[in-house]
Amino acid sequence: MASLRCFLRSGRNSAAVVLRRQFHKTPSACLQVTVRDALNQAMDEELERDERVFLLGEEVAQYDGAYKVSRGLWKKYGDKRIIDTPITEMGFAGIAVGAAMAGLRPICEFMTFNFSMQAIDQVINSAAKTYYMSAGLQPVPIVFRGPNGASAGVAAQHSQCFAAWYGHCPGLKVLSPWSAEDAKGLLKSAIRDDNPVVFLENELMYGVPFELSEEAQSKDFTIPIGKAKIERPGDHITLVSHSRYVGHCLDAAAFLAKEGIECEVINLRTIRPMDVDTIEASVMKTNHLVTVEGGWPQFGVGAEICARIMEGAAFNYLDAPAVRVTGVDIPMPYAKILEDHSIPQIKDIIFSVKKTLGV
């Protein structure tokens, strides 16, 4: 009986040692975090870090934001730093720009970037040009953020992508996140930047969960502005996209991989300044290029990428013309079936890849 107890005791001890070893070897688990919560974390951490940071916009305070991105911030930081505004974009965007000139670091939320057209004079003429026109004496550290591009069933006046609009303007930095990591890291970098930043989110991505690494969970985590990310390596063709359509490209790449076609998927992250070096390096490897975006084709982000490739060293490496997959060149229809045919679908990307490769 004593020998049995000794055996069981040694067995328990051995098991405990093994479990301890396994526990210490196990890496920290990634958290599942939605894009909405990642944006909320970024603003919360920067509000806590720097008392000059404040948020203003329609329904951002007591209502917790139209899309609940600012949930809980008003209760934590109060009326002075989380400010509800009237429905007057030109007015509160002007207040935010003035506050930035006076030394604060405002986050100006547009309920949708379609409404930023009401304030485009403040964004372009007041925010983007002042640093240059003052010979570097007057920075304007402000972030204009909110949902951009097509949502669902909101028709022509609420479905525009402004990446090309604002990406056209010198003096602005323009960011377009896809994942929760993008959203958190890029927004923190935008808030800390001394230049005006246009931060283009996507309403349909707010509720989408992504794994957030241990590094990205840190309050010190940022993503450098102007650097793209290769989301999936590949050898046969390069897919370049931003925002929601990065996910479409990855889904198309997974489908094409079953047919032996390996796509390299590049998440732009930043529209301006654009990381042309990463795109060129990929095209030199794959010899083929497809760009994917939700905006209109004429003077779009894809058009700029194609022009930069044609003008640069990577042009001589192309084995076929670069192809653009874009939104259709019409105002967005309201009917769902027409809306679906007006924006890129995964099948459109697959078709364009096969057409470019000649398979």
Catalytic residues: 89, 158
Q: For residues 129, 134, 139 and 140, what is the CA-based torsion angle, rounded to 10 degrees?
A: -40
Residue with tokens 């960011």: 175
Q: Which residues contact 226 (CB under 8 A, 6 or more apart)?
A: 173, 270, 273, 274, 275
- Contact between 294 and 243 (Cβ < 8 Å): yes
Query: ∠195-54-163 over CA atoms, to 5°?
Result: 45
Q: Extract the tokens encoding 41.
A: 């974390």
CA distance 179 to 165: 22
- CA-closest candidate to residue 37, choices 63, 61, 69, 5: 69
Sign of the dihedral defined by the CA atoms of residues 91, 92, 97, 98, in that order? positive
**Helix (H) and strand (E) counts in the chain:** 13, 14
Query: ∠241-246-252 over CA atoms, to 5°?
Result: 105
E-state strands within 67-171:
82-84, 105-109, 143-147
Sign of the dihedral defined by the CA atoms of residues 162, 163, 167, 168, in that order? negative
CA distance 325 to 334: 21
First to last CA, the chain: 75
Cα 107 to chain centroid distance, Å, stands at 16
CA distance 1 to 198: 75
What is the CB neighbour count within 10 angstroms for residue 130?
18
